[in-house]
Structure 1
Amino acid sequence: MNDRLIRALSADGRVRVIGVNITQSLNEAYCRHHLSTVATAALGRTMSASLLLASNMKQPQSRVNVRIAGDGELGLVYADAGFDGSVRGFVSNHELDLAPDVDGQQNVSAAIGKTGLLKVLRDVGYGEPYSSTVELIAGDVATDIAWFLASSEQTYSKLILTEVIDPPVDTAPDRQAAPVKAAAGILLQIMPKAALRAAKTSNFSQEDLLKQLETVSDKAKFTDLLMQNKSIEEVMLEMFADLQIEILPLSKDVRFHCPCTLERMLAAIKLFGEDDLRSMITEDKGAEATCHFCSEVYHATTDQLNNLLMELQVEAKA
């Protein structure tokens, strides 16, 4: 089943519901970065969150970066997602191994840590990107993103992020290629303007609506429905049936995608300057660079480096 992002309205248009399935995308991230189980879970939640946030942007070229830096051993967790459904990301300590918590879930909070910062950067594709930063309060990603939305947008938001991951076989060549059986997220947001417009006709008071959203935000049910091989649309229709959910014709495919290229890598190497380029040519006989986001390895030959050196020399004379 392909990864998909679905948008919907419920409760007489007072609640925005966005769901995303990233199972295939997370499996690709796992294979590219050789992630441990807990690192896979942490990155998956952050990738889902970045896609859900990006879906609320207006411009087709818009992107959202989510950066989580806690005091846990996992280090930096970084995801970048576009309005177009593309997503990528990485973690600093991809080999960190932690036992599951008491309910059998991946202990993401312990891996990330509960002290640190969550930074969200929004780039609409022109002008300067704008960012907001809040302190972590849980380290589990979902609670922290909801806190960020409440702080930055003063909007009630409920985020459900889940994953089912088989423990991988870490010894090559027997390492499993697709240990992620399910990875998905749902964002529910009360829409203030719509809430005011619907106040006289809605079957839900504001207080009742808050209670209802807490009731239907059942992570265990969400996970169970995903494991029944239901699509994200089918899951949303079943979970929020009592809220009169209406699926909008605004769905889109989701995919792991990184725009890195050899040309971009050469442009970055050029910034090192003439002295470093000469050292790469005479001592290293070339250069190698690895993309943080997708682990793609690029090699620059001595001929390519010589061309860069010539370009620098021409630019210096101009």
Structure 2
Amino acid sequence: MADQLIRATAAEGGIRAVATITSRVSEEARQRHKLSYVATAALGRAMSAGLLLASNLKKEGSRVNIRIKGNGPLGGLLVDAGVDGTVRGYVNNPGVELPPNPQGKLDVGGAIGKEGYLYVVRDVGYGYPYSSTVELVSGEVGEDIANYLVTSEQTPSALLVGVFVGAQGVTASGGLLLQVLPKAARDESLVALLESRVSKLSGFTNLLREGYTLPEIFKQLLGDLGLEILPEVQMVRFNCACSFDRVLGALKMLGQAELQDMIEKDDGAEATCHFCGEVYQASGAELAQLIEDLKSEVI
């Protein structure tokens, strides 16, 4: 099934539901960054979460940044996701690998660490971006972001994210976000019912591997609560806005002396984008042109 995101409501608009499939997105990130199994799972979960959070934004160009910095060997990660369905991200130490956790699953919590912080920045397309910081509760990504939603946005939320990666790469990845909005949050029985149903799920990626579609997953959870699946299916993809022109712009900021030093020592420069792993080469002639541009700006 293609990578996609769908939205739904239930309980007369009192419940908001969003689900996404990110199998190809996670596999592209794995290949681009040469990620280990556990690094793939960590970044894949965070990219799914970023898309789910960004889906609530309204204005074109709005984006969400998620940064997780824990005390584990992964060293942290950063994800950037847009309301347009694009996402990118990286981890600090992509080669880190750990033994499975006691449940026999990839030890994402151990890789990220249980002590540290989650930083979320929402750029809603106007004014100053909204930022929030919360302490990590497990390092497992899904629990940490659900805690952020409850702590910072006072919205009871359930967030499931998962990645199944094997010897052939990522075969299932995605996530599900359920939120009880203020007009329904006072109904404690409704909140308890959702918590019970979510806790009984065998895992989001297990459902994908068993062949369930996103609408079928929604029906399983909310089918008897006035479920309304919105008709738009949004395609999602790994996408980075880096370009050679942007690299030249960044090199230009180094100044004439540093550029001249690069020409004399290496006859050029190499730059790698953290987000997508793309490598850009600037020749000595191109650096010399940057120096000439800087000189003309001074005159």
Name which of 274, 287, 294 aligns with 1:292: 274
Q: Name 1:244's counterpart in structure 2.
A: 226
Question: Counterparts of 1:33 and 1:221 in 2: how far apart (Å)?
Answer: 26
Contact residue 160 and residue 187 of structure 1 kept, 8 A:
yes
Question: How far does residue 13 in structure 1 lie from its aligned partner after superposition?
Answer: 1.9
> Where does 1:62-101 land on structure 2 (aligned, <5 Å)?
62-101=62-101
> Which amino acid in structure 2 is aligned with residue 216 of structure 1?
R
Question: Counterparts of 2:219 and 2:211 in 1: how far apart (Å)?
Answer: 14
Question: Counterparts of 1:127 and 1:267 in 2: how far apart (Å)?
Answer: 26
Q: Name 1:184's counterpart in structure 2.
A: 174
Question: How far does residue 99 in structure 1 lie from its aligned partner after superposition?
Answer: 1.2
Question: How far does residue 219 in structure 1 lie from its aligned partner after superposition?
Answer: 4.2
Contact residue 69 and residue 77 of structure 1 kept, 8 A:
yes
> Where does 1:13-162 land on structure 2 (aligned, <5 Å)?
13-162=13-162
- Show structure 1 runs of 4+ deviating over 4 A: none
- Is 1:310 the counterpart of 2:292 in the alignment? yes
Q: Determine helix, strand or coil for the equivalent of 2:232.
A: coil
Contact residue 77 and residue 92 of structure 1 kept, 8 A:
yes
> Which amino acid in structure 2 is aligned with residue 206 of structure 1?
D
Contact residue 176 and residue 204 of structure 2 kept, 8 A:
no
Q: Name 1:211's counterpart in structure 2.
A: 192
RMSD over aligned CA atoms reads 1.4
Contact residue 117 and residue 133 of structure 2 kept, 8 A:
yes
**Cα deviation 1:106-137 (Å, max 9, x = unaligned):** 11111101111100011123433221111111
In structure 2, relative to structure 1, the CA distance for the partners of 1:162 and 1:242 (3 Å cut) is: farther
Question: Counterparts of 1:82 and 1:277 in 2: how far apart (Å)?
Answer: 34
Question: Counterparts of 1:18 and 1:25 in 2: how far apart (Å)?
Answer: 17
In structure 2, relative to structure 1, the CA distance for the partners of 1:302 and 1:219 (3 Å cut) is: farther
**Cα deviation 1:249-305 (Å, max 9, x = unaligned):** 233100000111000000000010110000111111000000000000000011111
> Which amino acid in structure 1 is aligned with residue 150 of structure 2?
A
Q: Determine helix, strand or coil for the equivalent of 1:280.
A: helix
Contact residue 160 and residue 219 of structure 1 kept, 8 A:
no
The runs of 5 or more residues in structure 1 that have no matched partner are 169-175, 197-204
Contact residue 115 and residue 136 of structure 1 kept, 8 A:
yes
Question: Counterparts of 1:237 and 1:60 in 2: how far apart (Å)?
Answer: 30
Question: Counterparts of 1:72 and 1:219 in 2: how far apart (Å)?
Answer: 28
Question: How far does residue 208 in structure 1 lie from its aligned partner after superposition?
Answer: 1.1
Question: Counterparts of 1:34 and 1:145 in 2: how far apart (Å)?
Answer: 25
Question: Counterparts of 1:182 and 1:15 in 2: how far apart (Å)?
Answer: 26
Question: Counterparts of 1:102 and 1:80 in 2: how far apart (Å)?
Answer: 31
In structure 2, relative to structure 1, the CA distance for the partners of 1:221 and 1:120 (3 Å cut) is: closer
Question: How far does residue 221 in structure 1 lie from its aligned partner after superposition?
Answer: 4.9
> Which amino acid in structure 2 is aligned with residue 293 of structure 1?
F
Question: How far does residue 180 in structure 1 lie from its aligned partner after superposition?
Answer: 0.9
Q: Name 1:165's counterpart in structure 2.
A: 165
Question: How far does residue 183 in structure 1 lie from its aligned partner after superposition?
Answer: 0.6
Contact residue 216 and residue 240 of structure 1 kept, 8 A:
no
Count of paired positions:
298
Name which of 245, 249, 252 aligns with 1:263: 245
Q: Determine helix, strand or coil for the equivalent of 1:80.
A: strand
Name which of 282, 293, 308 aligns with 2:264: 282
Q: Determine helix, strand or coil for the equivalent of 1:187.
A: strand
Question: How far does residue 104 in structure 1 lie from its aligned partner after superposition?
Answer: 2.0
Question: Counterparts of 1:72 and 1:12 in 2: how far apart (Å)?
Answer: 43
Q: Name 1:229's counterpart in structure 2.
A: 211
**TM-score normalised by structure 2 residue count:** 0.96
Question: Counterparts of 1:135 and 1:290 in 2: how far apart (Å)?
Answer: 31
**TM-score normalised by structure 1 residue count:** 0.90
